[in-house]
């Protein structure tokens, strides 16, 4: 996993180890880092911010030659760690439990483009919640794409869960509202709402999702993005965020992701956390996003995130 991102950072770290910190050398190495990060699917905004943060830490700092490598590595780790920390975290289980304690169903809306793994991800979350002993109803609110209702129903049947559905062309907001009413009258803990992933135009799609949001007022809006889709995922995250202000993201297909930039990019662009990552095609193949594991995968084992910054030399 994440081989590209790992080699991008490690070659930047090594090049610094071989140089004195002259401004021209810094620029040269930051440029190499930029190219490598672009190849790892890291979005331009993220690259610019990593470069400028790193430059700020390096310029005017005189570090012993043998300490430079560790210094750059720790600087990069800190920059990325701070980025994830600033987005905060979301504990879905805790959220559902607190709504349950208040006697209310927790309403979770899934948004994202077709083909990213949205339906499978909704089913994985349903499985996870079932494992945590919550009761669940699914709303088949993608009434646009042929086959969408059957697809979500098949997952629900396998998981032995109820689906609220209407016909194709029905108002998705009405389907979602029916599911919420069903949950309230049957004391069901959570409502998982599938939504369309494509419509005649992107505007139609966003309008439809906004309408569902107004009608059912979800407790959580989750964007599902494909970690393999590079810039497309970044652009989708940006657009969905503008229209839905989602609370967090789930990135699918992380098991096949050799680049690793998606999480960094989506978090930077939306300032919202990645909550889970998809790790395969089975229902159990979903893991909470783990910042420490991410950093270890990218920067290697035995990270020390608390190494002191070397003192500037007089």
Binds ligand GDP by CB under 6 A, chosen from 15, 40, 75, 120 = 120
CA 208 from centroid of its chain's CA atoms: 22
Q: Which tokens in the block code for residue 12?
A: 């930047």
Is 118 a binding residue for ligand GDP by CB under 6 A? The answer is: yes
Is 75 a binding residue for ligand GDP by CB under 6 A? The answer is: no
Q: Whose CA is closest to 263, among 301, 293, 220?
A: 293
Rounded alpha-carbon distances, angstroms, from residue 12 to 17, 19, 32, 99, 223: 9, 11, 7, 47, 32
Is 280 a binding residue for ligand GDP by CB under 6 A? The answer is: yes
Is 117 a binding residue for ligand GDP by CB under 6 A? The answer is: yes
Convert residues 200-239 into a mask of x (bound to ligand GDP by CB under 6 A) and - (unbound).
----------------------------------------
Tell me whether strands 190-195 and 106-111 are parallel, antiparallel or unpaired: parallel
CB of 178 to ligand GDP, least distance (A): 21
Task: Decide whether 46 or 113 has the Cβ nearer to ligand GDP.
Answer: 113
Binds ligand GDP by CB under 6 A, chosen from 256, 258, 293, 305 = 256
CA 177 from centroid of its chain's CA atoms: 27
Is 143 a binding residue for ligand GDP by CB under 6 A? The answer is: no
Is 140 a binding residue for ligand GDP by CB under 6 A? The answer is: no
CB of 303 to ligand GDP, least distance (A): 25
Q: Which residues contact residue 57 at a Cβ distance below 8 angstroms, ignoring those fewer than 6 apart?
A: 75, 309
Q: Whose CA is closest to 132, among 121, 124, 140, 144?
A: 124
Is 281 a binding residue for ligand GDP by CB under 6 A? The answer is: yes
Tell me whether strands 106-111 and 274-278 are parallel, antiparallel or unpaired: unpaired
In angstroms, the CA 5 to CA 261 distance is 7
- Cβ-contact 59, 16 below 8 angstroms: no
Binds ligand GDP by CB under 6 A, chosen from 15, 75, 119, 265 = 119
Chain residues 97-116 in contact with ligand GDP, contact rule CB under 6 A: 114-116
Task: Decide whether 156 or 279 has the Cβ nearer to ligand GDP.
Answer: 279
In angstroms, the CA 206 to CA 111 distance is 10
Task: Please report, as ranges, the residues that interact with ligand GDP according to CB under 6 A.
Answer: 114-120, 197, 252-253, 255-256, 278-281, 285
């Amino acid at each position: 996993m994440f081989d590209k991102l790992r080699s991008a950072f490690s070659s930047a770290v090594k090049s610094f180890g071989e140089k004195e910190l002259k401004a021209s050398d810094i620029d040269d190495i930051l440029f190499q880092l930029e190219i490598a990060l672009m190849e790892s699917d890291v979005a331009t905004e993220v690259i610019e911010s990593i470069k400028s943060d790193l430059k700020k830490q390096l310029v005017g700092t005189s570090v012993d030659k043998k300490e430079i490598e560790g210094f750059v590595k720790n600087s990069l780790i800190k920059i990325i760690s701070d980025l994830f920390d600033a987005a905060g975290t979301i504990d879905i289980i805790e959220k559902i439990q607190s709504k349950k304690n208040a006697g209310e169903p927790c309403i979770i809306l899934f948004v994202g483009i077709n083909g990213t793994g949205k339906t499978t991800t909704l089913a994985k979350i349903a499985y996870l919640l079932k494992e945590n002993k919550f009761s669940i109803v699914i709303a088949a609110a993608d009434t646009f794409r042929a086959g969408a209702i059957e697809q979500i129903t098949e997952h629900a049947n396998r998981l032995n869960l109820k689906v609220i559905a209407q016909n194709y062309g029905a108002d998705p907001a009405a389907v979602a509202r029916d599911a919420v009413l069903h949950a309230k009258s049957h004391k069901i803990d959570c409502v998982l709402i599938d939504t369309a992933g494509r419509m005649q135009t992107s505007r139609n799609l966003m309008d439809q999702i906004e309408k569902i949001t107004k009608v059912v007022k979800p407790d959580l809006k989750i964007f599902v993005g494909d970690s393999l889709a590079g810039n497309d995922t970044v652009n989708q995250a940006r657009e969905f965020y503008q229209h839905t202000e989602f609370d967090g993201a789930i990135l699918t297909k992380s098991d096949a992701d050799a680049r690793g930039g998606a999480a960094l990019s989506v978090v930077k662009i939306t300032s919202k956390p990645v909550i889970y990552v998809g790790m395969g095609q089975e229902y159990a193949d979903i893991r909470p996003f783990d910042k420490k594991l991410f950093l270890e995968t990218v920067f290697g084992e035995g990270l020390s995130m608390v190494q002191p910054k070397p003192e500037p030399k007089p």
